[in-house]
Structure 1
Amino acid sequence: MNAPTSQNQSEAVEQPVTVEMNEQQRKGQQTRIWKQIASDAGVSVQQVRTAVQLLDEGNTIPFISRYRKEMTGELDETALRTIEERLQYLRGLEDRKLEVMRLIAEQGKLTDELKQQILAAEKLQLVEDLYRPYRQKRKTRASVAKEKGLEPLALWILEQHRQADLEAEAAKYVQKDGDVPAVQDALAGASDIIAEQVSDDAEIRAWVRTYTYQNGQLHTEARDAEAESVYEMYYQYQEPVRKLPPHRILAINRGEREEVLKVRLEVETDRIYQHIQRRLLKGQSPVQSWIIAAIEDGYKRLIAPSVEREVRGEMTEKAEEQAIQIFSENLRSLLLQPPVHGKTVLGVDPAYRTGCKLAVVDGTGKMLDIAVTYPTPPHNKISEAETIFTALTEKHGIDLIVIGNGTASRETELFVASWIQKRSDKKSLHYLIVNEAGASVYSASKLAQQEFPELDVAERSAISIARRIQDPLAELVKIDPKSIGVGQYQHDVSQKKLEESLKGVVESAVNHVGVDVNTASPSLLSYVSGINATTAKNIVKHREEHGRFSGRNGLKKVPRLGAKTYEQCIGFMRLPGADNPLDNTPIHPESYPVVDRLFAMLQVKVSDVGSEALKQKLSSLSLEQMAAELEVGVPTLRDIVDSLMRPGRDPREELEAPIFRTDVLKLEDLKPGMELKGTVRNVIDFGAFVDIGVKNDGLVHISELSDRFVKHPMDVVAVGDVVTVWVLAVDEKKGRVSLTMKQRN
């Protein structure tokens, strides 16, 4: 038992234990943290130590990952983010340990043994378990019993004397006219104290928590079995706690929160009682039955409800981590979709009563024209809409029509497909459907109001829809990442954790691609390594007042962009047409002297960047040998050579382009076995949703993704992938299509 006896308390007061750490102890703590992170991340302690030092110096993860490879042993962004997250947790854990020890020491109850237990704790939960007996509690049955002076009786019972006379001992505490009028009252109070001590025992709580997680069953049932809801599969359901998949946990939580489901956690208690009894019982004693009864009371009344909350909290936390991970990976794939360059696009924000808002944008995203048509119910002005579409197409030379997938999308698609088929140039005119999630959020934002103050919300939305296909990254960064619907249960997870993770994803994507500093919006620039919103606005303001930047050095003149910010951001800034061609590559200016020495050895000039002659010379290099001659690390030289081989390269262009359509596919057209091309719209725990050109995306269940075993759908597909699928089944009534990626003969 962790609760100290009166004798232990006395010793603790006489021999106080210090809480403060000396320099040697602090270094030991730091080393423990490094070793723990190294073990968790699967990297060396030296890599962790270097990464932590770089992070503490204010370097960003994209910068460290790209430009400090030699120092970290080429840790990628994923490993660095893991290190950063674990560092924050473990430092917070150490701070909490010191706080807990200080609070216990103030009570005069911090012993060396307890201090060592706290210091050795690897999880915050264990620290809180150890602190539990000393935490200031609200009034409990045990605290009331202690106020009545019954704690010595409880401690005497726990000593378990072989010749104990329980009633005789309890009678010593009876006060006929006081708070303890009878022997039974004394024994009941002592039992309450023992029950609370059982509940406060850190080892017991840890064991029960683990046992419950490993052996518990989660039961769900309907509050109203007759009511229809999306939770019907959980109306009479049970599954082992440790086997519940994350998406099911979050669905059950939501059903409980919406008061559709009742949820309970059940576990066999015999082994729990046996474990606690082995810990407390010392041998044969007349008081054993009282202790056993107190143990059962402590478990049922105090431990079980608390542990159920903790276990379900742990389940939810793991489920949230998985949901956030899925959302993050889907978002990254969406942000890195290949841009469609050089096309004049007609964006369509579909609607019924208020009409479809149209926006024409040129190849650079500049708005050229705005219109509204009413081809959908209740107006059905098909002929008028065709006239407007034709006029816009001929006036601006429209190449592509992009339709948002929201309300009235299906009817609008039918109209557009029919109109294209009537045209003589139908082979050169295409359309596609894009996920418009978040477009309305952007169009009503302050940013959109500043960009298009004269337009209404729907017109701005049509522009956003058009731009999403031209440069998904540049447009989607204007929207709160949480509003982009490519996850599962994103509204049921910790919004703070979700926001932090998604911000990291957007930052990673932006820096992976690089940013044209002469055209980028403040929204896009604010995600560049080291740049905050204020500095981003200052860059745009400087550009507007002084003209285009002719080189990277010009950014040094931007207010609030100091030396450290310049170091962090400049490698991710691109300047097409700059005086120095290196300014349009990912090569950091700190490496320009290395490039100069390399060019001298190869007998080429900086003006040769991009030429076939330079590419041939670079492709024949021995990187190891050249790195030694240039006195630079091999990873850095490898990145330099790659950047020189493909200057101005956009990594997104290596991905498959989206599917352009000219005609619509109806649900009734689908037949089992039909082969189709589709685009993956969302990936979740149990499969992937694929846009095959019908109103609703088809589902490829995880079991149909491959002939081999698939642990998770993300191991096979990603958002934006163009895949070949075969129709398994069509449910016209529910509008559902089941697909497979297993090749059919």
Structure 2
Amino acid sequence: MEAHVRFRLIAEELGLKVQQVRAAVELMEEGNTIPFIARYRKERTQELDEEQLRAIKERNRYLIQLQERKAEVIRLIDEQDQLTDELRQKIEQAVKLQEVEDLYRPFRPKRKTRASQARERGLAPLAEFMKQTEREQVVEEEALRYVDAEKGVDTVEAALQGAMDIVAEELADDADIRKWVREFTWDQGVLVSEAKDPEARTVYEMYYDRKEPVKKMPAHRILAVNRGEREEVLKLRVDVEEEPILKQLEKWFPTRPHTYLKEAAADSYKRLIAPSIEREIRAAMTEAAEEQAIHIFSENLRNLLLQPPIRGKKVLGVDPAYRTGCKLAVVDDTGKMLHVGVVYPTPPQNRVEEAKQTVRRLIEEYGVELIAIGNGTASRETEAFIAHLIKEFHRPVYYMIVNEAGASVYSASKLAREEFPDLDAAQRSAVSIARRVQDPLAELVKIEPKAVGVGQYQHDVSQKRLGESLGNVVESVVNHVGVDVNTASPSLLQYVSGISASVAKNIVKHREAIGRYQSREQLSDVPRLGAKTYEQCIGFLRIMDGKHPLDKTPIHPESYPVVEQLLEALESRPEEIGSPVLNDRLRQVNIKEMAARLNCGEPTLRDIVDALLRPGRDPREELPAPVLRSDVLQLEDLREGMQLKGTVRNVVDFGAFVDIGLKNDGLVHISKMSERFVRHPMDVVSVGDVVDVWVIQVDHERERVALSMVPME
């Protein structure tokens, strides 16, 4: 497949222009990263965004693999001297790998089959004869000629059976037949789940006797029954009406089928086609479900990483526990650890007064303004203890419950040991909980993305595919926000466009050697940070109080001359960036006219003006701030109809989990999200959204709360 054909196919599929696809692929082949292309090469791609660029990359890779497989299949069939012009054309015109594999199927080397044994016994001509005549008696008479004890054909019945086996396999290997049966099964099939032991009490009881259309089954239920099958609790099968399929198979014969051909068609379907197609359908269902689960996780992760930082506050992080006590960590407003300790306000020790004195002293001594409590074991008791304690202060002290998913993974990691070699894992966890409040992105990038707890069935999907997708999300968010190169850790820097893990470490080492970076130019002196890497990363790195005022903006140094010309045209100086006078002038700029005057692309100029209007802007600060609490809410306090304010913690296919201040998040089912139809919860809410909810049911035994986002009358 020529490149221009590939680009045309991708453009048609994604609803783009061919020149956009060509430009995107060429830029990627030149070694440019997707964040860089999306931000700094808008003129060449006509403003494609990251999602479109990733889709182009994925489809281009698939079509290249498809072309390579086509060439290999043509070669393999040709080596068998069975390649016809018609077959070559069919293979070359195939647009899916599945079509290519279906066409190759008859020529694929097989293990010994009933049909291959029949061919070895010389029954292939009988099978051909059987297909060409409509009369059973003539077929039986012809079969007499093939009875040969030396060849293992002892009777007429054995000859007929061998011929039928050959016909059955030919039917099963026909690409058009397989395609039709696959599409019919997908359209009409039903996935049936049954219990292996109907008396057993398990979490899969709702699937003990369930039927659901294959093409309509939601992703979360597909992954749930798959897990039940793996755990040997459920039996699964795909049921589909056989009669229409058998009638379609019989149309394959050149003549009106007699009994032997009908038997061969039925055997072909039940023994060869159905089991194979069922595996393919199940695999397709699982693949689609995995893609949906990965999409959900990716979107949730994106919104979690974009949570607004709470800046300028000294924070006390608390990692709750029972027997081993609550680990404490105080960090200053830059995230530097000031103190670690432990108190025992929870059972079995219940040393409440002693814990009060310790925490009170830390709040006063370090000027703590916010307490971050992890939501793990004993968080409810710890929250009650903290809420009671902060009422004694005459100045405002707030607390918030922090999702500590992944904190234990980080605290036991090599990275955490390097950062805090003298602390134990629980103390490191307390530091991480405190820092998550101050800058969620900087702290969460230290954790393997799939451990942050905002997905659905993330352990049941392809871990390679999940890792790729989540890595793309982190890279996208980090580059969208930008990175302060004088405070960033290697964990954060390695997600910046073009920067590898080793270069990220070198940036920090060089910073430690020279002190703070004063300009972006100094980064070109970092070992192994070559010209291409510099070009890719530099626009995403910020120098907040450097020598050059543009170094704290997302404007790429390659555009600095354009900025200078723009400022000159506006009769302004670089020192005026951020001033009301310059901002007024920038708002009055006619982008089209000024771009022509400066010989600059309109998208680039638009981005430059936006960056100059808001230098040093953090896009996360435009999102709703986290909910801070000063009093505890108990499950026993809840009443049906009660209105509460909560923060969305996780969005899944069937609803959203909302933190309302309890140990466990409440669930807003998709049916309770709006008075109008909701296609998917993500159309209504995102992780981090602050929402008003109403209590509709409280299950005290299972400690579950059902919520509604629709006001209750």
Q: TM-score range by the shorter chain?
A: over 0.9
- 1:502-537 deviation digits (Å, cap 9, x = unpaired): 000000000000001111100100000011111111
- What SS does structure 1 have at the residue aligned with 2:252? helix
Give me the whole-angstrom Cα distance separating, in 2, the residues matched to 1:43 and 1:634: 20
In the other structure, the counterpart of 2:186 is 213
Match of 2:304 in 1: 334
Q: Does 1:599 align with 2:567?
A: yes
Q: Give, in angstroms, the shift of residue 324 of structure 1.
A: 0.3
Do residues 359 (structure 1) and 332 (structure 2) align? Answer: no
Match of 2:464 among 478, 496, 520: 496
In 2, Cα distance between equivalents of 1:154 and 1:429: 87
* 1:280 alignment partner, SS class: coil
> 2-side partners of 1:551 and 1:160: how far apart?
87
Who is 1:108 aligned against? Answer: 81
Q: Which runs of 5+ in 2 are unaligned?
A: none
Q: Distance in 2 between matches of 1:291 and 1:414?
A: 77
Q: How does 1:468-483 map to 2 (within 5 A)?
A: 468-483=436-451
TM-score normalised by L of structure 1: 0.94
State whether residues 136 and 260 of structure 2, in contact with CA within 8 Å, keep that contact through their aligned partners in structure 1.
no
- Tell me what 1:17 maps to: none
> What letter corresponds to residue 363 of structure 2 in structure 1?
T
CA distance in 2, matches of 1:583, 1:150: 81
Cα distance in structure 1, aligned partners of 2:640 and 2:149? 85
What secondary structure, in the 3-state scheme, does the structure 2 residue paired with 1:327 have? helix
Return the offset for 1:172: 2.1
Cα RMSD (Å): 1.2
Residues 349-498 of structure 1 mapped to structure 2, 5 A cutoff: 349-421=319-391, 423-425=392-394, 428-498=396-466
How many aligned residue pairs are there? 713
192-201 or 152-161, which moves further after superposition? 152-161
Q: CA deviation at 1:456?
A: 0.7
Q: Which runs of 4+ in 1 moved over 4 A?
A: 161-164
> Paired residue for 2:138, among 151, 165, 177?
165
Q: Which residue of 1 aligns with 2:91?
A: 118
How far residue 32 of structure 1 moved from its aligned partner, in angstroms, is: 2.5
Report whether the alignment pairs 1:275 with 2:245: no
Q: Which of 236, 245, 249 is 2:218 aligned to?
A: 245
Q: Secondary structure at the match of 1:414?
A: helix
The answer to whether residue 613 in structure 2 is matched with residue 679 in structure 1 is no
Aligned match of 2:264 in 287, 294, 312? 294
Q: CA deviation at 1:743?
A: 2.4
Q: Name the SS for the 1:383 alignment partner.
A: helix
Alignment of 1:37-186 (within 5 A): 37-160=10-133, 165-186=138-159
SS in 1 for 2:162: helix
Do structure 1's residue 259 and structure 2's residue 225 form an aligned pair? no
1:706-745 → structure 2 map (5 Å cutoff): 706-745=674-713
- Aligned-pair CA distance for 1:40: 2.3
| Partner residue, 1:667 | 635
Q: Which residue of 2 aligns with 1:21?
A: none
Q: Which one-letter code corresponds to 2:213 in the other structure?
A: P
Corresponding residue of 1:6: none
Measure how far apart 1:601 and its partner are. 0.7
The residue number in structure 1 matching 2:176 is 203
1:159 is displaced (CA, Å) by: 2.3
CA distance in 2: counterparts of 1:305 and 1:319, whole angstroms:
21
Q: CA shift at 1:163, angstroms?
A: 9.0
Pairwise CA distance, 1:281 = 4.1
Secondary structure in structure 2 of the residue aligned to 1:139? coil
Distance 1:615 1:149 in 2: 89
Q: Deviation at 1:147?
A: 1.7
Are 2:523 and 1:523 equivalent residues in the alignment? no
Cα–Cα, structure 1 residues 589 and 145, in superposed 2: closer, same or farther, change >3 Å? same
Which residue number in structure 2 is paired with residue 699 of structure 1? 667
Distance in 2 (CA, whole Å) between partners of 1:243 and 1:424 is 57
Q: 3-state DSSP class of the match of 1:548?
A: coil
Inter-partner Cα distance in structure 2 for 1:80 and 1:32? 18
Cα distance in 2 for partners of 1:670, 1:653 equals 32
Provide the residue aligned with 1:319 in structure 2: 289
The answer to whether residue 625 in structure 2 is matched with residue 657 in structure 1 is yes
Show CA shifts across 1:520-564 (max 9, x none): 100100000011111111111111112221111111111111111
Q: 1:182 to 1:716 in 2, by over 3 A?
A: same
1:367-388 CA-partner distances (Å, limit 9, x unpaired): 0000011111111111111111
Q: TM-score, normalised by structure 2?
A: 0.99
Provide the C-alpha distance between the structure 2 equivalents of 1:373 and 1:503, rounded to a whole number of angstroms: 37
Structure 2 Cα separation of the partners of residues 418 and 139 of structure 1: 76
Q: What is the deviation of 1:162?
A: 5.9
What is the 5 A alignment of 1:621-636?
Answer: 621-636=589-604
| Contact 2:223–2:460 (8 Å) recurs in 1 | yes
How far apart are residue 161 of structure 1 and its match? 6.2
Q: Deviations over 1:181-238 (max 9, x none)?
A: 2221111111111111111001000100000010011111111111111111111111
| CA deviation after TM superposition for structure 1 residue 156, in Å | 2.0
CA distance in 2, matches of 1:406, 1:578: 42
Alpha-carbon contact 2:136-2:259 (below 8 Å) kept = no
Which residue identity does 2:371 align to in structure 1?
I
Q: 1:170 to 1:162 in 2, by over 3 A?
A: closer
Write out per-residue CA displacement over residues 385-415 of structure 1, whole angstroms, 9 at most, x where no aligned residue.
1111011111111111101111111111111
- Output the CA distance in 1 between the equivalents of 2:150 and 2:551: 92
Aligned to 1:346: 316
Deviation of 1:582 after TM superposition, in Å, equals: 0.3
- Name the CA distance, whole Å, in 2 between partners of 1:624 and 1:484: 44
User: Are residue 616 (structure 1) and residue 572 (structure 2) matched?
Assistant: no
- Please say which of residues 471-480 and 616-625 is displaced more in the overlay: 616-625
* 1:193 match: 166
Partner-residue secondary structure (3-state), 1:656 = coil
The DSSP-based 3-state class of the residue aligned with 1:390 is helix
Q: Deviations over 1:83-141 (max 9, x none)?
A: 11111111111111111111111111111111111111111111111110011111111
The residue type paired with residue 329 of structure 1 is E
- Name the CA distance, whole Å, in 1 between partners of 2:507 and 2:90: 53
Match of 1:310 in 2: 280
Looking at structure 1, the residues matched to 496 and 558 of structure 2 have their Cα atoms a distance apart, in angstroms, of 18
Shift of 1:672: 1.4
Listed one character per residue, the Cα deviations across residues 54-81 of structure 1 (whole Å, up to 9, x for unaligned) are 1111111100110111111111111111
The secondary structure found in structure 2 opposite 1:165 is helix
**8 A Cα contact 2:121 2:151, kept in partner:** no
SS of the residue corresponding to residue 663 of structure 1 reads: coil
Segments of 5+ residues of structure 1 without an aligned counterpart are: 1-25
Report if aligned partners of 2:132, 2:254 keep a CA contact under 8 Å in 1: no
How far apart are 1:164 and its partner, in Å? Answer: 6.9
1:739 is aligned with what amino acid? L
Secondary structure of residue in 1 paired with 2:421: coil
